[in-house]
């Protein structure tokens, strides 16, 4: 699995205060050098990791822990070929985080503050040596197994009991190591009977509560031998919406690349946005619209899911109601887009779009 709950020593925290301001602080948790930590016994390493993942002065009983009232972001800082580090499209995450908090009736976190804090937290961890080093060997498979720093900003409410909104939340930012999201092996997907989001709900917000169903659906898919689960719409149970934690694309035999249109049941993914732009740059007709599962079965020649951790990950097949359709795998378009996306992210290709925020 990509994620590793071994938080880096430097984290960031801001608290919304009664006077309508955010009180900021950077926290330096217990640590040794990365080399010394690598030599710790498993028990010692676990004890150290736990000490960096606990915030003793934050309330246990609150609207986030009791009702899932919270939101989060996921983005990456990546080692560059020239030895520097950069964060991929953080301004988009800052905007989405602002929108998510506002959508949950929390005081929204200022986007400029988000960017400055994220960059500074990342810089401080890198200065302590907590960062992957660029490896030329990653280029051989278009960075599919490359390492990076995963950045996780999230909201956390003040103490409370009883169903209510959060009026004085915290915003916390943590950093951890991350590698390939999907494990090697199967690349098949199955359509789940579960419903991820309903119209009028919070599907377009990166809310904590949205991921409960996704976790269950992906676990059930894995138990059946599939890599991914696919959600259909709640109303007609016909239109493809998302993967378990990813947006989805279908490359049709006509040459049209289709991804479900944004609405209140679809998360506005930043990797999704990037791939749309990269595909259009290459002359591919990209359409954001509803796509029925029947159309995907009859007309798609490629299918891939995408997200911050997944990049552009091709699917070899989808199973639905006992029927299975196979796609070109790994697929020429998905492979090309992944190569370009990762090339920009790791500094192998020029960042003509200004997507990278330099850190150090």
The CATH number of the domain holding residue 165 is 3.30.470.10
Q: What span, in angstroms and rounded, lies between the C-alpha atoms of 261 and 233? A: 12
Last-in-domain residue among 178, 196, 222: 178
What pLDDT score was predicted for residue 3?
76
What pLDDT score was predicted for residue 182?
61
- With 0-12 CB in 10 A as exposed, 13-18 as middle and 19+ as buried, what is 133? exposed
Asked whether residue 358 is domain-assigned, the answer is no
Alpha helices in the chain (DSSP H): 34-38, 42-53, 63-67, 90-103, 111-127, 210-223, 270-281, 293-299, 332-345
Regarding beta strands 317-320 and 188-191, do their DSSP bridges make them parallel or antiparallel, or are they unpaired? parallel
Counting as low any pLDDT under 50, the low residues of the chain are 1
Q: What span, in angstroms and rounded, lies between the C-alpha atoms of 220 and 160? A: 33
172 and 198 assigned to the same domain: no
Instruction: Check residue 207 and report its DSSP letter.
Output: B
216 and 159 assigned to the same domain: no
Asked whether residue 167 is domain-assigned, the answer is yes
172 and 84 assigned to the same domain: yes
- How many degrees, rounded to 5, is the angle at CA 114 between CA 59 and CA 275? 115
Asked whether residue 137 is domain-assigned, the answer is yes
What pLDDT score was predicted for residue 310?
82
CATH of residue 222: 3.20.10.10
Residue 80: closest CA among 38, 133, 1: 133
14 and 139 assigned to the same domain: yes
203 and 169 assigned to the same domain: no
pTM for the model: 0.96
Asked whether residue 309 is domain-assigned, the answer is yes
What pLDDT score was predicted for residue 183?
61
132 and 92 assigned to the same domain: yes
Q: Tens digit of pLDDT for each residue in 45-72?
A: 999 999 999 999 999 999 999 999 999 9
Element (H, E) at 136: none
- The dihedral region occupied by 57, where left means phi > 0, alpha psi between -120 and 50, and beta the remainder, is alpha
Structure tokens at 55: 């915030």
* C-beta atoms surrounding 27 within 10 Å: 15
Q: What span, in angstroms and rounded, lies between the C-alpha atoms of 101 and 107? A: 7
* C-beta atoms surrounding 154 within 10 Å: 19
171 and 192 assigned to the same domain: no
Structure tokens at 284: 């591919």
User: From edge to edge, which strands make up the β-sheet containing 188-191?
Assistant: 240-243, 228-232, 188-191, 317-320, 323-326
248 and 317 assigned to the same domain: yes
Q: Domain total for the chain?
A: 2
- How many degrees, rounded to 5, is the angle at CA 102 between CA 278 and CA 308? 30
By residue range, what is the domain housing residue 245? 188-345
Q: What span, in angstroms and rounded, lies between the C-alpha atoms of 258 and 319? A: 19
206 and 132 assigned to the same domain: no
Helix 111-127 / helix 90-103 crossing angle, nearest 10 deg: 130
Asked whether residue 279 is domain-assigned, the answer is yes
What pLDDT score was predicted for residue 309?
83
What pLDDT score was predicted for residue 1?
46
φ and ψ at 290, to 5 degrees? Answer: -70, 140
Q: Tens digit of pLDDT for each residue in 216-266?
A: 999 999 999 999 999 999 999 999 999 998 999 999 999 999 999 999 999
136 and 257 assigned to the same domain: no
The sign one gets for the Cα dihedral 234, 240, 244, 247 is negative
């Amino acid at each position: 699995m990509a994620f590793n709950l071994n938080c880096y020593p430097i984290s960031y925290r801001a608290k919304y205060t009664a006077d309508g301001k955010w009180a900021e602080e950077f926290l330096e948790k217990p640590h040794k050098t990365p080399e010394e930590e690598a030599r710790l016994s498993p028990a010692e390493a676990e004890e150290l990791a736990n000490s960096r993942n606990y915030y003793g002065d934050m309330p246990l009983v609150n609207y986030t822990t009791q009702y899932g009232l919270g939101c989060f972001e996921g983005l990456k800082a990546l080692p560059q070929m020239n030895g520097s580090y950069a964060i991929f499209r953080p301004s988009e995450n800052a905007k989405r985080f602002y929108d998510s908090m506002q959508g949950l009736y929390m005081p929204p976190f200022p986007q400029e503050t988000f960017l400055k804090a994220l960059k500074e937290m990342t810089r401080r961890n890198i200065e302590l040596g907590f960062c992957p080093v660029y490896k030329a060997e990653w280029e051989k498979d278009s960075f599919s197994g490359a390492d990076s720093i995963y950045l996780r900003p999230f909201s956390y409410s003040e103490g409370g009991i009883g169903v209510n909104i959060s009026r004085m939340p915290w915003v916390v930012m943590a950093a951890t190591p991350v590698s390939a999201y999907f494990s090697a092996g199967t690349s098949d997907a199955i359509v789940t009977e579960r419903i991820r989001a309903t119209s009028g709900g919070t599907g377009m917000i990166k809310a904590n509560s949205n991921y409960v169903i996704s976790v269950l659906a992906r676990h059930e898919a894995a138990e059946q031998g599939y890599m991914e689960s696919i959600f259909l719409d709640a109303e007609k149970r016909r239109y493809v919406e998302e993967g378990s934690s990813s947006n989805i694309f279908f490359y049709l035999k006509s040459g049209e690349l289709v991804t479900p249109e944004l609405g209140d049941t679809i998360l506005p993914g930043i990797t999704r946005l990037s791939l749309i732009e990269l595909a259009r740059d290459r002359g591919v007709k990209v359409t954001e619209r509803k796509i029925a599962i029947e159309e995907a079965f009859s007309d798609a020649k490629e299918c891939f899911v995408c997200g911050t951790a997944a990049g552009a990950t091709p699917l070899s097949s989808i199973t639905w109601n006992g029927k299975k359709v196979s796609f070109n795998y790994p697929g020429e378009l998905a492979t090309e887009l992944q190569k370009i996306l990762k090339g920009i992210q790791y500094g192998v290709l020029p960042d003509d779009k200004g997507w990278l925020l330099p850190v150090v």
